[in-house]
Structure 1
């Protein structure tokens, strides 16, 4: 019997960690309440640059990420697919996707809908909106969550 290298096994089971911790708040993993599952405050409007760290964190909850859906008017031009780590993720922009949201879907059809806080939002306002969106009992609509953040 040959001895296995435990570091290789561990690395192949877990997605690569993010380079930078994304500014993200999620509701506790439980029965969904409200419109969104949490909030994300990206550093820029470059979706392809922002996704790797976000998806590394979300893959813990959703498993392997298959698809990201976004509103076309909110991001700089994004390709139809992005390579994130060792996998290809489909990026789909729609005009019908609710404004200020990002939907992330895992291979097993689990999904997370995030409120997207505009990158230029001030820290205090972004924090208020993120905390409200991630509150376990929050049922607030997108517009009201963003107005809490001063948007």
Structure 2
């Protein structure tokens, strides 16, 4: 009897994020993140786990309130408190601002979860490109 090997299904979905190359110059957008849902508490752990270690520990995340229906004041991610803020700025409806004390600030473009792959890919590529 032969047994066919079944491909292993990842326990967690692959993080859909692209970051711009590191440079000494500040950028308006540091990359793009395409979450799988509008549930910030469910999406945040995989986002923070996928960030470069050089960014340090993210202690504050600000998202646009129009995109995320529920944003509690704080949450625990990997046993660390992360403060969550809700902004209503019309100038940046699809962004997430990540802060790490003593390390910096990073702004990610957030591609809405219900965006098709065909539409999301060029948006993410543009946000992570070398060009300003």
Give the TM bin, normalised by the shorter chain.
0.7 to 0.9
Indicate yes or no: 2:94 matched with 1:100.
Answer: yes
Corresponding residue of 1:113: 107
- Give CA-to-partner distance per residue, 1:88-111, whole Å, 9 cap, x none: 100010113721000011122411
Corresponding residue of 2:75: 82
Q: Residues 65 and 39 from structure 1, CA distance in 2 versus in 1: closer, same or farther, beyond 3 angstroms?
A: same
Indicate yes or no: 2:74 matched with 1:55.
Answer: no
Unpaired runs of at least 5, structure 2: 1-10
Unpaired runs of at least 5, structure 1: 1-17, 140-151
Q: Is the 8 A contact 2:64 2:92 kept in 1?
A: yes
Q: Is the 8 A contact 2:65 2:71 kept in 1?
A: no
24-33 or 121-130, which moves further after superposition? 24-33
**Matched residues in 2 for 1:20 and 1:86: separation?**
21
Q: Is the 8 A contact 2:64 2:88 kept in 1?
A: yes
Q: How many residues align?
A: 121
**Matched residues in 2 for 1:33 and 1:93: separation?**
24
Taking only aligned residues, the RMSD between alpha carbons, in angstroms, comes to: 1.8
Q: Is the 8 A contact 2:56 2:103 kept in 1?
A: no
Deviation, 1:82, is 1.0
The TM-score, its normalising length taken from structure 2, stands at 0.83
| Greater helix fraction, Structure 1 or Structure 2 | 1
